[in-house]
Amino acid sequence: MMRIVDVASHDRQPAGEPPAGLVRPLFEGPVDVVGDVHGEIGALRQLLARLGYDDEGRHAAGRRLVFVGDLCDRGPDSPAVIELVESLVTERRAQCVAGNHELNLLRRERKHGNHWFYGDEDPANERRFGPCVMATAAQRERFLAFFGGLPLALERPDLRIVHAAWYDPAIAQCRAARDDLLSAYRRFELPLAQSDEGVRLKTAHDLEKALNGAALAGSATPAFLGDIAAYEEYYQTGNPIRVVTSGIERATPVPFAAGGKWRFVERVPWWRGYDAPQSVVFGHYWRWWDEASHALLSKGEPNLFVDEEPCGWHRNAQGRAVAFCVDYSVGARFMERQQGRHRAFHGRLAAVRWPEREVVFDHDPPTI
């Protein structure tokens, strides 16, 4: 029988006393970095078993877990996922960074698939996402406290973890922050909204949106709307917390539909400009095993990985492998269930084993 090794007491930080700041030290030793879970508790338990963890999150070889955020929303049991990860973090068997879905809940924003948090049992939600477990009032309070105490990034000499983008200017601002996540977000956000440039862009955005309401509500691709694009780019890139949790975006002259609305900014593959020695593992950007799955199940956004191997590392402009997206679209399983697929999902949950650089999935590639 293998001996279970618990290495929590050997970590650099005293138990129960996480370091201040939004960028914190990553565990020493071997780790398994888990992609966006999105409420898929079954996939998470299956993946952890495949990685060699017991029900308490302990590993025979002393490995530990790191989660890249987006624990919740869309899937059938977000509360169970958060309960499990929170317990692992408390026991120092895991670390977790905040993703944009955790940030949305901290900001009390109602978004795609987070009705479970608000106890919203509207039949339209069940028709769209399937049945899901609703959070209790006590869970909501505890989950917000957990999210508010999460870092935005983790780092050590050989490896960095972030939800969406390791962009040095934004990381530097987050590294200097000493307030909690929500307070820091508001502190960065307020000057954007109150600046002369912010007010000008918001006014132009609102006017252009009003003048083009019919086109924006239609199914035909609208003309490029520059004021909407300029404001959305300003809003996205001006707050460093938004950058690290949902990426860098730039205006695109060819609008596209994604998430139920027309988009005038597109995501930027930030890793092409990344040249630090540390590798980065991140999530957020849905990655597909094949292009056919992307065409069928994506939210509508362009595929940033269309020319890459399914398990390939992403290269910078100099051709060096520098980063790896570990989000293999498990968040799309609600769509697959709608289409009648209840096993061998195309959207899978993945982990990168470090330092081995191996990718492990909750199940093998679908064959049907």
- Contact at 8 Å (CB) between 282 and 270? no
pTM value > 0.85: yes
Q: Tell whether 267 is covered by a domain.
A: no
pLDDT tens column, 108-140: 999 989 999 999 999 999 999 999 999 999 999
Here the CATH number for the domain that contains residue 63 is: 3.60.21.10
Q: Which residue has the higher pLDDT, 293 or 64?
A: 64
Mean pLDDT (whole number) for 308-333: 96
Mean pLDDT (whole number) for 314-327: 97
Mean pLDDT score of the chain: 92
Q: What does the H/E/C string look like for 80-127? A: HHHHHHHHHHHCCCEEECCCHHHHHHHCCCCCCCCHHHHCCCCHHHHH
Q: Tell whether 226 is covered by a domain.
A: no
Q: Does position 7 have pLDDT exceeding 80, yes or no?
A: no
Q: Tell whether 43 is covered by a domain.
A: yes
Q: Tell whether 39 is covered by a domain.
A: yes
Q: Does position 9 have pLDDT exceeding 80, yes or no?
A: no
Q: Tell whether 187 is covered by a domain.
A: no
- Domain interval for residue 332: 22-167+272-361
Q: Tell whether 5 is covered by a domain.
A: no
Q: How many domains does the chain have?
A: 1
Q: Tell whether 278 is covered by a domain.
A: yes
Q: Tell whether 367 is covered by a domain.
A: no
pLDDT tens column, 246-261: 999 999 988 998 877 8
